[in-house]
Amino acid sequence: MVAMDNLITGNLNNIAHHAGNTHFEFIHHDVSNFIYVPGEVDVVLHFASPASPIDYLKYPIQTLKVGALGTHNALGLARAKGAKFILASTSEVYGDPLVHPQVETYVGNVDPIGPRGVYDEAKRYAEALVMAYHRTHGMDTRIVRIFNTYGPRMRLDDGRVVPNFIGQALRGEPLTVYGDGSQTRCFQYVSDLVEGIYRLLNSSFTDPVNIGTTAEMSILEFAEAVNEISGNAAGIIYKEALRIQGDPQTRRPDTTRARTILGWEPKVPLADGLTHTIDYFRQVL
Ligand code: UDP
C-alpha cells in the first residue's frame, strides 16, 4: 500500500503504527502535481483535501486545486493502471440544503463564491470528473458522500466541532456554540464510515452513496452530550463566529442507498464513540 499526502493538514503520527510494515510506503507528495507510482495498482482511493471549514478557508486555492487537479491526476493514475477508483466526496455538495433529509438525487444549494464554495465546488467538480471518466473511459469508479465523522486522530486544532468541544471540555472550559446552536448535524463514528466505504468499494454501484448516521441532533444538544460524557461542568457559551455565514442549518443523510445496496448500518452509538474519542484526546492534550 502506498499513502500520499503533502501534510498541510495531515500528520505523520497518524500512520506511525505502520512503521516497519514492508507492505506500506509513505510518499510525501501533493497530488495536485503529477502522480507517479511504480508497479501495479489495484485501487486508487482519492481522499486528499482539507475537510474542515477552518482549514479550507486557510487553504482555499489548495482546496480547489486538489479537488480539480488532484482528482484529475488520481483518475489518470487509476486509468493508466487499470485500477478501481473511489472519490471521497462530501455532504457539502448539498450546500445549505433545501431538501431534508438529503437524498443522493438532490442536486444541492451551493453558493459558488460563498466561504464554503472553495470546498463545495471543488468536490462537485471532482464528482463531475469521476462520472466523466466513468462514462467516457468505462472506468470502474465509486463516489462516497461522507457526512460528519469523528473519532481518534482528528487534529485537536482543526476547528471542527468535535475536536473543538472535546478540547474545551478537557481543559474545563465552556464549549463555544456558534449562533444559537439550533443548526443540526448527524455524527458518525469513523469505524462505521470505514465499513461503509469498504462495502461501497466491493459493490458495483457507480452513482454517489451517502454514508452517515441519521441520528440528527442540534449543535446545542451535541455540546450537552460532550459536557456530560466528559464530566465538564463549565457549560456552554454562545459565539457569533464570522464563519457562520454559509453554515448549513440542517444536515441529515437519506441512507436508503447505503442500507439497501450495501446492507450497511452504522453500529457505534454516540456515547461509545465519544467516550473513545475523549480518551484519545486526553492522551494527546
Ligand atoms: N460549531 C460550533 N462550535 C465550534 C465549532 C463548530 O458551534 O466550536 C458548529 C458549526 O457552526 C457548525 C457545526 O458546529 O454548525 C459543525 O461544524 P464543523 O466545523 O464540525 O463542520 P461542518 O459540519 O459545518 O462542515
Express each pLDDT in 85-115 by its tens digit.
Answer: 999 999 999 999 999 999 999 999 999 999 8
Strand partners, 209: 144
CB–CB of 155/103 below 8 Å?
A: no
- Probe target for ligand 1 pocket from 89, 145, 161, 239, with the most ligand atoms within 8 Å of CB: 161
**Amino acid 257: pLDDT:** 98
pLDDT digits (tens, 9 = 90+) for 112-147: 999 899 999 999 999 999 999 999 999 999 999 999
> Is residue 186 within 6 Å of ligand 1 at its C-beta?
no
Closest-CA residue to 190 (of 285, 85, 277, 73): 277
- Mark whether 36 is an active-site residue: no
**Domain annotation for the chain: domains and CATH numbers:** 1-146 (3.40.50.720)
Q: Give the strand order in the sheet containing 84-90.
A: 43-46, 84-90, 141-146, 209-211
Q: How far is the CA of 168 from the centre of ligand 1 (A)?
A: 14
**84, 151, 176, 267, 281 from 276: Cα distances, Å:** 33, 7, 22, 14, 9
> Is residue 178 within 6 Å of ligand 1 at its C-beta?
yes
Q: Is the pLDDT of residue 242 over 70?
A: no
The answer, yes or no, to whether the previous bond of 266 is cis (omega within 30 of 0) is no
Q: How far is the CA of 160 from the centre of ligand 1 (A)?
A: 6
- Probe target for ligand 1 pocket from 63, 123, 185, with the most ligand atoms within 8 Å of CB: 185
Return the ligand 1 atom nearest residue 175 CA: 8
Q: Is the pLDDT of residue 170 over 70?
A: yes
Q: Is the pLDDT of residue 244 over 70?
A: no
Q: Is the pLDDT of residue 53 over 80?
A: yes
What cell numbers appear for 214 in the block?
A: 441519521
State the pLDDT confidence band at 234, using cuts at 50, 70 and 90: very high
**10, 82, 142, 198 from 43: Cα distances, Å:** 21, 9, 11, 12
> Is residue 57 within 6 Å of ligand 1 at its C-beta?
no
**50, 188, 262, 274 from 132: Cα distances, Å:** 24, 30, 24, 39
Q: Which of 119, 133, 150, 189 is catalytic?
A: 119
Element (H, E) at 150: strand 149-150
Return the ligand 1 atom nearest residue 251 CA: 23
φ/ψ of 173, rounded to 5, equals -100, 160
| Ligand 1 atom 13 nearest Cα | 161
State the pLDDT confidence band at 229, using cuts at 50, 70 and 90: very high
Q: Is the pLDDT of residue 241 over 80?
A: no
CB–CB of 83/35 below 8 Å?
A: no
> Is residue 148 within 6 Å of ligand 1 at its C-beta?
yes
Chain centroid to CA 196: 13
Residues 6+ apart with CB under 8 A from 44: 74, 75, 77, 78, 81, 83, 84, 85, 86
